[in-house]
Amino acid sequence: MNILGYQVPKELVVVMSIVFGVLTVCSVIFRILAKRKPSKMLTELIVRTNSWWFIAIGVAAVVIGPAILGTILVGYVSFVALREMLSISRFREADRSALFASYFAIPIQYYLAYKGYYEQFLYFIPLIMFIGIPVILVLTGKTKRIGVSMSLIPTMLMLTTYMLSHLILLFSLNVPDNSAGAGGLIIFLIMCTSFNDVFQFTWGKLMGQKKILPNVSPNKTWAGFLGGILTTSILGYCLQGLTPLTGQQALICGFILGVMGFLGDSIISAIKRDLQLKDTDDLIPGHGGAMDRLDSIILTTPVFYHMLRFFIAQ
């Protein structure tokens, strides 16, 4: 199908039509119920649904539009996420130069991803920035708590930028028989990651009793974790049409994405618990900040990309 001058694979049109259809139905139902019998829960559901509209439109722009548009949008998300994480951390006045260098690294990293400069992409942040940031901090001459800054700033850059920028590498990944294109791969990744959170929450509420990480995330249970990854495995198998993966490969990807999504969520939960925060920000009404939405995908994105390279990339 041709949309705004771009040929969009029919698989993406079908999936996005279903997503927007579901959002439309939910929006109408919640508003009708809210008019008949207003309640705090319905108000919250309307707020959350409105936020999902913005998220869905953003995802649609990434998967349907040209790669340069997706690169700019995801790069901006990394900028917002990095700003959130740096703002909630306790940095010194002397760290300003290093923080500026971190922001400057975002366009460079995404440029490397967009151009498909794979080797340079791999080592820019893990090597150059991991060396450069400590050097910048040393040159300030301020040594009090410098070790904390040397550890935190590169780690935040890895979580918010390096991990997520693997999404853009999917545009230049050479895979055979991929009729849905890079957009199909991105939709597969996002749906498995997002629904894994829903599955783990649902199984945890239905059957969960034994806590898996009580000191990090008290709501997570073994039943939620195991039920979530098994259900996400099945979802991956069902979505194989969006990828060139075989059924077995899609099942494995779904399973591993379920595990990595849980770990990504737990990492950000641990950081927030350490800082005694419920959310990283209030950017998205009903959802918290950008990192509250990206917590799972920061790990699933690079893992999915390298699984694809292992399975099918030429």
Tokens of 113: 């991803």
| Phi, psi (rounded to 5 degrees) for 94 | -70, -10
Helix (H/G/I), strand (E/B), else coil: 288? strand
Q: Which residues pair with 211 in a beta bridge?
A: 221
CA gap 163, 177 in Å, rounded: 26
Residues in the chain: 314
Quick one: what percent of the chain has pLDDT higher than 70?
A: 96
Helix (H) or strand (E) holding 3: strand 2-3
* Per-residue confidence (pLDDT) for residue 54, from 0 to 100: 86
* Residue type at 163 in one-letter notation: M
* Per-residue confidence (pLDDT) for residue 1, from 0 to 100: 57
Q: How far is CA 287 from CA 48, 49, 80, 278, in A?
A: 7, 10, 15, 11
Question: Per residue, what are the HEC states of 11-35?
Answer: HHHHHHHHHHHHHHHHHHHHHHHHH
* Per-residue confidence (pLDDT) for residue 313, from 0 to 100: 61
Question: pLDDT tens digit string along 227-269?
Answer: 999 999 999 999 999 999 999 999 999 999 999 999 999 999 8
Neighbours of 99 (CB within 10 A): 20
Q: Which residues contact 100 (CB under 8 A, 6 or more apart)?
A: none
Question: pLDDT tens digit string along 71-114?
Answer: 999 999 999 999 999 988 889 999 999 999 999 999 999 999 99
Q: CB–CB of 84/23 below 8 Å?
A: no
Mean pLDDT of 182-187: 92
CA gap 285, 50 in Å, rounded: 8
Residue in the structure block whose two tokens are 């913005």 = 54
Mean pLDDT of 117-127: 96
Going by C-alpha positions, the residue among 313, 312, 180, 171 that lies closest to residue 243 is 180
Confidence of residue 124 (pLDDT cuts 50, 70, 90): very high
Of the listed ranges 40-49, 185-194, 238-247, 253-262, the least confidently predicted one is 40-49
Tokens of 239: 């979505």
Q: What is the pTM of this model?
A: 0.91
Q: CB–CB of 19/55 below 8 Å?
A: no
